[in-house]
Amino acid sequence: MASYGTSDFRKGLKVLLDNEPYLIIDLDFMKPGKGQAVYRIKVKNLINGRVLDKSYRSGDSVEGADIEERTMQFLYKDAAHFHFMDGESFEQVELTSDQVGDAAKWLIDEMMCEVVCWNGTPITCDPPNHVVLKVTYTEPGAKGNSTGNVQKPATVSTGAELMVPTFINQDDMVRIDTRTGEYVERVSKS
């Protein structure tokens, strides 16, 4: 398995800490007046989502996590699991609601997702960065209230709620950034 020195640290690097896979989500380099440089990293546990802060001295190393990302199609959700299928081998895998987490708000049938596997076992999934969903409910916008950054709540076809500009109406199609859960733009219905 690969080993990474502190000079290899970067956002998005997957490492093994305490025998569990983590993703580096933030990195800070500090060089004090005396002594060795210190790398402070913020890591997210890929199994349970817990975020930790760790510090490493210049020259330290950590083991790389044996992570595999597989593009799979989301099939359906039943009472207990989300079901995905590999388009080439037709292998199907299941993830629990805890493993899918907030991504469940953006999943629609037949959507292609990245299923993250650790030691051959699926542990989580990442939907595409942007999805287009239909607004199923929102209050009508007030006339003349279109200036500035005025927003109102809306519910989309997956049941997720988000803030949208006042000019968005029910049945409009909107593009959403799944990483932040924020409105990006209105999409034409063509």
Q: Kindly report the CATH class assigned to 3-64.
A: mainly beta
The answer to whether 46 touches 123, Cβ cutoff 8 Å, is: yes
**Domain assignments of the chain as residue spans, ordered by start:** 3-64, 67-126, 130-187
CATH number of this structure's domain 67-126: 2.40.50.140
The answer to whether 67 touches 116, Cβ cutoff 8 Å, is: yes
Give the chain's mean pLDDT: 88
What is the per-residue burial (b if ≥16 Cβ within 10 Å, else e) of 122-140?
A: bbbbebeeebbbebeebee
97: number of Cβ within 10 Å: 12
- Given this model, what pLDDT does residue 59 score? 86
CATH number of this structure's domain 130-187: 2.40.50.140
What confidence tier does 146 reach under pLDDT thresholds 50, 70, 90? Answer: low
**Cα–Cα distance measured from residue 185 to residue 183, given in angstroms and rounded to the nearest whole number:** 6
- pTM score of the predicted model: 0.74
pLDDT per residue over 98-127, tens digit each?
Answer: 888 888 999 999 999 999 898 888 988 889
Residue 147 has pLDDT above 80, yes or no: no
- Given this model, what pLDDT does residue 142 score? 66
pLDDT per residue over 48-61, tens digit each?
Answer: 778 999 999 888 99
- Given this model, what pLDDT does residue 190 score? 60
Tokens 């640290």 found at: 9
Residue 141 has pLDDT above 80, yes or no: no
Two domains, one topology: 3-64 and 130-187: no
- Given this model, what pLDDT does residue 54 score? 92
What is the per-residue burial (b if ≥16 Cβ within 10 Å, else e) of 149-186?
A: eeebebebeeebebebbbebeeebbbebebeeeebeeb
- Given this model, what pLDDT does residue 145 score? 58
**Cα–Cα distance measured from residue 8 to residue 58, given in angstroms and rounded to the nearest whole number:** 11
pLDDT per residue over 148-182, tens digit each?
Answer: 678 899 999 999 999 999 989 999 999 999 988 99
